[in-house]
Structure 1
Amino acid sequence: MEHAELTTEQVLKRDIPWETYMTTKLITGTCLQLLRRYDNKSESYRAQLLDDDGPAYVRVFVSILRDIFKEETVEYVLALIDEMLTANPKRARLFHDNFLANEDTYEPFLRLLWKGNWFIQEKSCKILALIVSARSKTLDGIIANGEASNSKKKSTTIDNVLEGLIEWLCVQLKKPSHPSGAVPIAISCLATLLKEPVVRSLFVRADGIKLLIPLIAPASTQQSIQLLYETCLCVWLLSYYEPAVEYLATSRTLPRLIDVVKSSTKEKVVRVVVLTFRNLLWKETFGAQMVDLGLPQIVQSLKVQAWSDEDLLEALNQLEEGLKENIKKLSSFDLYKQEVLLGHLDWTPMHKDPSFWRDNVTRFEDNDFQILRVLITILDTSSDPRALAVACFDLSQFIQHHPAGRIIVMDLKTKERVMKLMNHENAEVTKNALLCIQRLFLGAKYASFLQV
């Protein structure tokens, strides 16, 4: 059987030769005694043993992982720990008990992340994420695992653990060790770990956000819905961290989240995306982007649906009010600029409003004519006929209303680009390309009558 296909249940059916390990001094007599009491017993009996003497069993498991390298035995002990923590995640606190003050309980799992088969890597990741999350945060950066600060024994610091864990998780998102299992387990662990600010910082520094963005897409199967939910949960947690927000603002995250919220019927997915929108609304340029991408209308549509989660309903109301305030604060030019920078050009009212061009034409000079340059880039790169037509029209409006418009547009090497569009298959594009060329050649005085 392939290691990748192993299950915890199958591994736990093995008979491990504990007596042989004691004979070869790989485990102590005390370890053997504890293992005999625990091994192959019912879940309720094991639970009682862990309640009575949990730290002693954790010490046994960690010492085996530290000292024994036989793959079948390592898999077995990891399966025991996974079973123990799955039944009760609060047992992760046992790894930080004072009884284990001189034990490096992180090291075996951190080492096994990079060695062994997928079963070993997956279990080590799950276990390590749980026990790291259960630690006392007051000791961070000072000592690890409750070890006495005057101890001479070398121990794995929490910084080492978190850096190693984040590195491994990012590797799984880039180049998965398992075709179907690696990405879900990596995202699931990140959804747990990113609750901590220190992990958010490490993840951003590892350039991890760009690895999340492709996973934000509408889902259909139960497995893909869970992956989408946990990915969106990661983005929500990152929305509390300013350097992450700065990255999200320059990526395609917002349009992807909007696609998800429009198509998803799973309440937990909608809830976490709406909470993310609420966090991002007043940060960077998100407010303008949300308006431009039609989020106010989407929120209204979501509000009339039958959601049972009161937090979601409250978040939708807050988001709706916030978007209304945002619209009031945005000038028409801010909205126009956002539309151009996103490349989502459409016949919104401002394009054909003469007063918009009279009042704002000098603002096109900002940042070395940035908006004009983007409009020209759209002519080169867009495949959307509507965007091409609007870009041509806007250039013609600039030529008409700016005192030096014709010269500026000519200097930006626009003529050839527009002329190519005069043979476009779309009539709307050819009409507006022609208008732009006429204004370039003839000037506003002779071309204004051509505008429809």
Structure 2
Amino acid sequence: MLLDPPTYLGSLQSNIRQRPIPWDGAVRAGTLTEEQLARIRAVDKVKRDVRKQAIEADLNGYRILFVGAEGQKSVLESAHKRQDVVQYILVLLSDLLADIPALAKAIIQTGDPYRHFLPLLAHSSNPENPIPLLTSTVLVGLMAGSRDESPATVDKALPVVFSYLSSLTKNSDAGLQDIGVQEYSSLLYGRAPRRQFWKQRSDTVTPLIEILRAAAGVGNNDASASLWSGMTGTARSGFEGSLGGGVGLQLLYRVLLVMWQLSFEAADIGDDLNDEYDIVLLYTQLLRLSPKEKTTRLLVSTLLNLLVHNQNTLLPTAVLARLPGLLQNLQTRQFADPDLREDMDRLRELLDEYTKTKTTFDEYVGELNSGHLRWSPPHRNAAFWAENARRILDHDNGALVRRLADIMKKPWDSDKAVLAIACNDVGCLVGEVPEKRGQLERLGLKTRIMELMGEADENVRWESLRALGGWLQYSFESK
């Protein structure tokens, strides 16, 4: 998918192309050789077809020009003291790689194709310094143009490039973020780059999630609590003017595109992606707010990839996030994109099939596994606890009550209702299966409930008191 280059980068490259370079003087000064200059002139400021013909007729010569060979310096080595020449060569090479894929493949066949470029990424710590920025564009063009997945690319060069691009996506300047995100997109051309991208997720994925949370109007502190609260609050019908958190539509689209590309690894990373970033909940919220059909398409397609490959774990979360109802509402809109309509139909069918067979117990398990409790129907339903309390305690050797204990360990500063609900559930378990109190005590639940009696939140205090009262009742009766 071709996108227009980011405005800042396009403007920088255009300015450099227009700079006059005293080439003859550079030759006389020994900055570059006559042979190097001849090859540069043959492809500089000429028509695209002339440029293409010249390079394809002399691929080895141009490979040596840019990356050198034994006993022959590359033009970047020769001109390393002339920053104006280095910048010009980087822009020229980027243009050539975009126009002539054969050049990228020829350069990649060099023994160490990246040795002259990777050091330039560390040329300056200033994110606006043109040389690292232009170098990253060359490296992206080189990797994407050749679609190389060799160890030299994936294990050696790609981690360095991803780290540099992450510094752009973490920058507060939207123009630099835009460059980093679009270059990410160009690099996710195959499984090996996508897996490396995920491996470096604290640098690569996390800043993108932060951009998406900002667009959804969710802070990064206690983002999960804020998202779940949004499920029960009044949602906006869509973005008007600028997006939430100051995220522009172009940047939002490019971030969603990168995440969509990453979702093709959903079979391997889908559960972790949701556990670490609440991706299903976040995407449901973004889908509710999606301002354009093109962003809606990426959101729906990504959700489809995730849910198809992780049905047992993510479909319950999607139901809790109220995705089925949202898709039903979206069905009334007349989308022009046939691929979007097809993906929405498939997603609805997947969720409909799941909800047809879903029990209240499944709903409760899905909520526990989501890591966030809300006042859904099972919690206050006496018949549910009478029927399912023992099953919850015994399920998967106590995995569900361990999950409940883990939830209760957190302070939930932004959503104290979670603690109140957890206390309610513990009280119900004790009330229905009092002989299992020891199991709950060994998980620290009784101690935690006693601690929560001192909480400032009135509802938490009340529910913890109720739970402890049931505990004490059965303790006295057993004496």
Match among 216, 219, 227 for residue 212 of structure 2: 216
Match among 149, 156, 164 for residue 163 of structure 1: 156
Match of 2:193 in 1: 199
Match among 359, 365, 373 for residue 394 of structure 2: 365
Shift of 1:227: 2.7
Match among 51, 55, 64 for residue 75 of structure 2: 64
Shift of 1:51: 3.4
- 8 A contact 2:168–2:177 mirrored in 1: no
Match among 270, 273, 277 for residue 245 of structure 1: 270
What does the per-residue CA deviation read over 1:174-202, in whole Å, with 9 as the maximum and x for residues that have no partner?
A: 58796525443232122121121111222
Matched, 1:397 2:428: yes
Rounded to whole Å, the distance in 2 between the matches of 1:379 and 1:417 is: 7
- 8 A contact 1:6–1:119 mirrored in 2: no
Match among 331, 341, 345 for residue 373 of structure 2: 345
Match of 2:71 in 1: none
Match of 1:144 in 2: none
Shift of 1:101: 6.8
Match of 2:123 in 1: 115
Change (3 A) 1:71 1:354: same
Match of 1:230 in 2: 254
Match of 1:450 in 2: none
1:46-85 equivalences under 5 Å are 46-55=47-56, 56=58, 58-59=62-63, 60=65, 63-69=74-80, 70-83=82-95
What is the CA RMSD across the aligned residues, in angstroms? Answer: 3.6
- 8 A contact 1:110–1:165 mirrored in 2: no
What does the per-residue CA deviation read over 1:10-65, in whole Å, with 9 as the maximum and x for residues that have no partner?
A: 323332222233335553434334444655x4xxx432431331345945455322
- 8 A contact 1:170–1:211 mirrored in 2: no
- 8 A contact 2:211–2:247 mirrored in 1: no
Rounded to whole Å, the distance in 2 between the matches of 1:236 and 1:176 is: 17
Shift of 1:342: 2.5
- 8 A contact 1:167–1:206 mirrored in 2: no
What TM-score results when the alignment is normalised by the length of structure 2? 0.75
Rounded to whole Å, the distance in 2 between the matches of 1:356 and 1:185 is: 53
- 8 A contact 1:4–1:119 mirrored in 2: no
- 8 A contact 2:112–2:152 mirrored in 1: no
Rounded to whole Å, the distance in 2 between the matches of 1:178 and 1:413 is: 43
What TM-score results when the alignment is normalised by the length of structure 1? 0.79
Shift of 1:420: 5.3
- 8 A contact 1:217–1:228 mirrored in 2: no
What does the per-residue CA deviation read over 1:185-234, in whole Å, with 9 as the maximum and x for residues that have no partner?
A: 23212212112111122223334444543232253359733333222222
**Structure with max Cα Rg:** 1
Rounded to whole Å, the distance in 2 between the matches of 1:195 and 1:399 is: 53
Rounded to whole Å, the distance in 2 between the matches of 1:328 and 1:305 is: 25
Q: Which amino acid aligns with 2:352?
A: K
1:111-190 equivalences under 5 Å are 111-116=119-124, 118-135=129-146, 141=150, 159-160=152-153, 163-173=156-166, 180=173, 181-190=175-184
Rounded to whole Å, the distance in 2 between the matches of 1:397 and 1:414 is: 13
SS at structure 1 position matched to 2:264: coil
SS at structure 2 position matched to 1:15: coil
Match of 1:153 in 2: none
Q: Which amino acid aligns with 1:112?
A: L
- 8 A contact 1:93–1:131 mirrored in 2: no
- Tell me the percent identity: 26
Greater RCO between the two (CA within 8 Å, min separation 6)? 2
Change (3 A) 1:385 1:246: closer
1:283-432 equivalences under 5 Å are 283-284=309-310, 285-363=313-391, 364-366=393-395, 369-380=398-409, 381-383=411-413, 384-415=415-446, 417-419=448-450, 421=452, 428-432=459-463
Rounded to whole Å, the distance in 2 between the matches of 1:328 and 1:163 is: 49
What does the per-residue CA deviation read over 1:400-438, in whole Å, with 9 as the maximum and x for residues that have no partner?
A: 211414444445444454355557666654543343232
- 8 A contact 2:169–2:207 mirrored in 1: no
What does the per-residue CA deviation read over 1:274-298, in whole Å, with 9 as the maximum and x for residues that have no partner?
A: 1111111133411111111111112
- 8 A contact 1:336–1:350 mirrored in 2: yes
- 8 A contact 1:162–1:199 mirrored in 2: no
Change (3 A) 1:262 1:218: farther
- 8 A contact 2:114–2:157 mirrored in 1: no
Q: Which amino acid aligns with 1:68?
A: A
- 8 A contact 1:392–1:436 mirrored in 2: yes
Q: Which amino acid aligns with 1:248?
A: L
Rounded to whole Å, the distance in 2 between the matches of 1:167 and 1:14 is: 30
Is there any run of 5+ residues in structure 1 with no aligned partner, and where? Answer: 142-157, 447-452
Shift of 1:441: 1.8
